[in-house]
Structure 1
Amino acid sequence: MPSIFSYQSAEVDWCEGNFEHSEYIAEYYNTISNISFFILAPLILWLNSPYKDFRPLPVCSLALMEICIGIFSAYFHMTLSYAGQLLDELSILWGMSMCYAFWFPVRYFPGFIKNRDQFMWLVLLVTLFSTLMSFVRPALNAYALNCVAFHLLYLTVQELRQCNNSRVHHLAGLMVFWWAVSIGCWLGDKFLCSWCQQLGFCYLHSLWHVFINVTLLYCATLIIYFDVLYESPASEPQLMYWPGETSALALPYVAIRKPQKWC
């Protein structure tokens, strides 16, 4: 029986040809495209430094999980090992669970949950159960993780219905656009591989890595904005873009006009 760390022992293989550019890296472009995770993590911290000053744990934890996801995803695509596959998928699972634990709006808590601490314990139990179940059918893990996006989209719609800020609606629209582009690349690589091979372009999954990080930047900014708005409205959060809104590479962030001491 091959080791779980053996090359190509994973249950999944993406469209990119294996070992075409290196004898040590199975999927070369799928591996190096994970650099986008390492770019996103410090970018979120830098752009939202005022928020980090008041709630360092959530945003620093997010940056740390982004780095972990980047490391494990690169390891998976480099080796296509079973261990790499599980580490990649479980890091995403725990990263999403961490975001739910820190940022899920209180008003959406189940009726039997009384406070944030209880909700964190619930999230931990669900995550531990999901972690164990992920070993049952690893090939289904990626589909289950992508389905979480539909719940996030539902929450976004619910929040936008109560928000009249046009800048927030614009940011949410950009987030949904980039998510659609990202998931399109993921599905295309998964189900249209033969067509991609005919075109000589088998790198949609590497584009998924890049575009999903663009999506996460917009998503994180939106989450931070609503967190400040509901937890400390006197801080007067405002959506801004660096270096400017007219820039070809406008990066969103949350400016806090009247910083308050809150936790």
Structure 2
Amino acid sequence: MADGISSFWGPVTSTHEWCEPNYVYSSYIAEFFNTMSNIPAIVLAFVGLLIAVTQRFEKRFSILHISNMILAIGSMLYHATLQRMQQQGDETPMVWEMLLYLYILYSPDWHYRSTMPTFLFLYAVIFAITHYVVRFGIFFWLHYALVCLLCIPRMYMYYIYTHDRLAKRLAKFYLATLIVASLCWLFDRLLCKDISHWYFNPQGHALWHVIMGFNSYFANEFLMYCRAQQRGWNPRVNHLGIFPYVKIAKPKEQ
């Protein structure tokens, strides 16, 4: 904690702290950079939501973009307070969001339409309650990594069956940002003791937030393109400045 600045939120009760000194810039924000770095993710998710609504995509994509915003807001509250309750408000939506990705990725080929959303909903509720009661530690990260890994084979299948060059570029941006963000996360987590002695803190965890905001945006747009292709909506990738987005042309009967 910085000299002369007290904590508005009281003692730290979260199970994790990150490689950033607490309460340096404000008594209301424990980890300033880790908190503010979630803002780009909220903005990008809002842009994605506008695209999904104006292009009349299925509601699943609106919910996906909203879940991205909820996750970023939960992360802001966690890093601002370093309280156990807010930590769960960050970690639980992380799992819920990945369950939503599993639904979007696998539901097109699922023959029993009601079983998958019912199972995933019940799983999400049970996980949230169990995580609150048991307070998972390393098991949370192993579980989260497993759920993420379940998405990769399907994303790869969508990639190899996509022939549009600009759409494939969205998938490549998704993979590149995922790798870079993961390296930033590991760098901040594993080398924190060394970084604390450096003159300049590269803020690896804050960079993780920013890059993962772009990662989610690219992933969502690529999945929107693939879904539009499945529905015969003639998707194409346009650009608004430097931002790629998917434009569709639904048949009139739809």
Q: TM-score, normalised by structure 1?
A: 0.83
Alignment correspondent of 2:5: none
Unaligned runs of 5+ in 2: 1-8
CA contact (8 A) 1:241 1:251 kept: yes
Deviations 1:195-221 (A, max 9, x none): 322333151111111100100110000
- Structure 1, gaps ≥5 residues long: 244-249
Matches within 5 A, 1:89-168: 89-107=91-109, 109=110, 114-135=111-132, 136-140=134-138, 141-168=140-167
Residue aligning to 2:85: 83
Say if 2:180 is the partner of 1:198: no
Give the Å deviation of 1:224: 0.5
Deviation of 1:84 after TM superposition, in Å, equals 0.8
- Indicate how the Cα distance of structure 1 residues 227 and 259 shifts in structure 2: closer, same or farther if over 3 A, else same: same
C-alpha displacement at 1:35, in angstroms? 1.0
Secondary structure of the 2:188 match is helix
State the SS of the aligned residue for 1:116: coil
Report the equivalent of 1:208. Answer: 208
Contact 1:183–1:208 (8 Å) recurs in 2: yes
Match of 2:245 among 234, 237, 253: 253
Paired with 1:105 and 1:13, the residues of 2 have a C-alpha distance of: 37
Deviation at 1:74, TM superposition (A): 1.0
Q: What is the alpha-carbon distance in structure 1 between the residues aligned to residue 83 and residue 237 of structure 2?
A: 42
Secondary structure of the residue aligned to 1:169 is: helix
**2:27 matched residue in structure 1:** 23
Deviation at 1:7, TM superposition (A): 3.9
Match in the other structure for 2:67: 65
User: How far apart, CA to CA, are the structure 1 residues paired with 2:21 and 2:63?
Assistant: 34
Is contact 1:238-1:257 (8 Å) kept?
Answer: no
Q: 2:47 aligns to what?
A: 43
Out of 234, 237, 246, which is 2:235 matched to?
Answer: 237
Q: Deviations over 1:108-140 (max 9, x none)?
A: x4xxxx322221001112222322342424322
Report deviation, 1:188. 1.3
Size of the aligned set, in residue pairs, is 243
Moved more, 7-16 or 87-96: 87-96
The answer to whether the 8 Å contact 2:96/2:124 transfers is yes
Amino acid at match of 2:17: D
- The answer for the alignment partner of 1:246 in structure 2 is none
CA distance in 2, matches of 1:253, 1:103: 19
Counterparts of 1:161-176 in structure 2 under 5 Å? 161-176=160-175
Following superposition, the deviation at residue 6 of structure 1 comes to 5.4
Q: Distance in 1 between matches of 2:146 and 2:180?
A: 16
Note if contact 2:105-2:151 (Cα within 8 Å) is conserved in structure 1: no
Cα 1:260/1:100, change in 2 over 3 Å: farther
Distance in 1 (alpha carbons) for counterparts of 2:53 and 2:128: 32
Q: Secondary structure at the match of 1:39?
A: helix
TM-score normalised to the size of structure 2?
0.86
Q: Deviations over 1:129-166 (max 9, x none)?
A: 32234242432224432443322222121222333333
Q: Is residue 174 of structure 2 the alignment partner of residue 182 of structure 1?
A: no
Contact 1:217 1:252 in 2 (8 A): no
* Residues 241 and 149 of structure 1, relative CA distance in 2, 3 Å threshold: farther
Superimposed CA distance per residue, residues 49-70 of structure 1 (whole angstroms, 9 cap, x where no aligned partner):
443x242x22221232222212
- The alpha-carbon distance between structure 1 residues 60 and 84, as it changes in their structure 2 partners (threshold 3 A), is same
